[in-house]
Amino acid sequence: RFLQYRGPFAKRRHPLVDSSVVSEIRRCLEEGIEFQGELLNFRKDGSPLMNKLRLTPIYGDDGIITHVIGIQFFTEVNIDLGPVPGSSIKESMKSSTRSAFRPGVVGDRNVYRGFCGILQLSDEVLSLKILSRLTPRDIASVGSVCRRLYDLTKNEDLWLMVCQNAWGYETTRVLETVPGAKRLGWGRLARELTTLEAAAWRKLTVGGAVEPSRCNFSACAVGNRVVLFGGEGVNMQPMNDTFVLDLNSSNPEWQHVQVSSPPPGRWGHTLSCVNGSHLVVFGGCGRQGLLNDVFVLDLDAKPPTWREISGLAPPLPRSWHSSCTLDGTKLIVSGGCADSGVLLSDTFLLDLSMEKPVWREIPVAWTPPSRLGHTLSVYGGRKILMFGGLAKSGPLRFRSSDVFTMDLSEEEPCWRCVTGSGMPGAGNPGGVAPPPRLDHVAVSLPGGRILIFGGSVAGLHSASQLYLLDPTDEKPTWRILN
């Protein structure tokens, strides 16, 4: 194809190249027959030549084409085509290089003035083909280069494309529903979510109540709503009610949602959001002991109804495990506590989009130490991060601050121990790594960063600090978010 374009700046085939010959080449290749013909081509400097081309298919023993042999014979052709398009620009760049980039003295400073080829592109090409593929940090830097790039980087449509490419369409779709997001604009959102410079705690006054009082419940976010299910009531009473707090409301208040066919009461379970408004509950401890059942609820259905999913080959019944969702359809469960207090280290996946879902254990050559009370977070599309928990170490159990990751897009996924500044085994035991903990919360932020807060922390350490980690960095580094 490149031999049919004249000059490095050409954007289409030269008009003197016979398109019927090109079509004949394509037809012969598709039909698996030999081609012989001549085609006008061009050298790198734009001078013309005639290409006598022969393409011959090679068949295997089974009669199927395995290769095509191409033989080219170039001859000179006497055609006056004039100067190569764009050559004047190229020559002017060459001739002006020495003078254009020669320092001139202004006061006591050396000033360099030169010709930047990228600025010869149109605003549309710059925005759609180059700037939109950069990260938010890069866009902010580019905007300081010159006035034209500064003006381009103020375009909200460009920032929307940058955010979609950096964070994914699902994340930006959710952000569009956040109150005040449209008022801030995508440029401001990208800045604040990248630097977190404006992050601040804000105490909400909410009405209603979650009654009766409880602990060891599970909660998750569904858009701008917080959903709470189950928990351990007075005298270890397993609960199975559902409450919703709508943060979009001007006066948010807890509401007890009347649902049909609720799961058996439980505590120490997990509650995750899948596919927009759907919730999935797994495991926990109920009246009859540990559970390994799965229930799904569409919060926006009229009326909302819990539905049990009978997954084949389920994992062991457990509580205090961790779970997350992938691709909006897959539930991942890891670790937890089985019968007789045995800690687990397995990882299972259940595809809820299947008509008859089947649990599948993810086979790995090595697993992190078995644990409970840890967290699983999704980042970078199909990667998961495990943090903390009460981990087994020989006959003992200790709070952990370990970080492990797994890429589920690999053919053979495996757990990897993450190290870096302030990480375990990084030669920097002080650092700013979170104190070991369990029963904390982890939140995935746009761009793949993980936020850790709270939990059960030993000694004099405070659990009120926010810790941030970017596992996509070459050497991930914990930092405290002030």
Residues 412 and 306 occupy one common structural domain:
no
Of 303, 329, 362, the residue that ends a domain is: 362
Dihedral angle over CA of 372, 378, 379, 385, nearest 10: 20
**CATH number, residue 292:** 2.120.10.80
Residues 189 and 267 occupy one common structural domain:
no
418 assigned to some structural domain: yes
Phi-psi map region of 96: left, alpha, beta (phi>0 left; psi -120 to 50 alpha): alpha
Residues 396 and 347 occupy one common structural domain:
no
1 assigned to some structural domain: no
115 assigned to some structural domain: no
CA-nearest of 467, 461, 457 to 437 is 457
Determine the pLDDT at residue 11. 60
Q: How many folded domains does the chain comprise?
A: 4
238 assigned to some structural domain: yes
Note the pTM of the prediction, 2 decimals.
0.69
**CATH number, residue 68:** 3.30.450.20
| Lookup: tokens for 174 | 């959710």
Determine the pLDDT at residue 92. 44
Angle at 338 between CA 337 and CA 339, to 5 degrees: 130
- The stretches in the chain having pLDDT less than 70 are 1-2, 6-12, 82-116, 419-431, 460
Residues 222 and 304 occupy one common structural domain:
yes
Task: Tell me the per-residue pLDDT of 419-446, one tens digit each, with 9 for 90 and over.
Answer: 654 445 444 433 578 899 999 999 998 8
Give bridge partners of residue 253 from the DSSP assignment: 207
Determine the pLDDT at residue 427. 42
Contact 274, 280 (CB under 8 A): yes
Residues 221 and 285 occupy one common structural domain:
yes
Residues 347 and 391 occupy one common structural domain:
no
**CATH number, residue 145:** 1.20.1280
Residues 267 and 353 occupy one common structural domain:
yes
Residues 44 and 152 occupy one common structural domain:
no
383 assigned to some structural domain: yes
142 assigned to some structural domain: yes
Residues 318 and 396 occupy one common structural domain:
no
Residues 212 and 358 occupy one common structural domain:
yes
Of 314, 341, 362, the residue that ends a domain is: 362
Determine the pLDDT at residue 7. 64
Determine the pLDDT at residue 428. 40
Domain containing residue 432:
371-481
Radius of gyration of the chain (CA): 31
Residues 216 and 125 occupy one common structural domain:
no
112 assigned to some structural domain: no
Determine the pLDDT at residue 463. 79
Residues 186 and 331 occupy one common structural domain:
no
Of 306, 332, 362, the residue that ends a domain is: 362
11 assigned to some structural domain: no
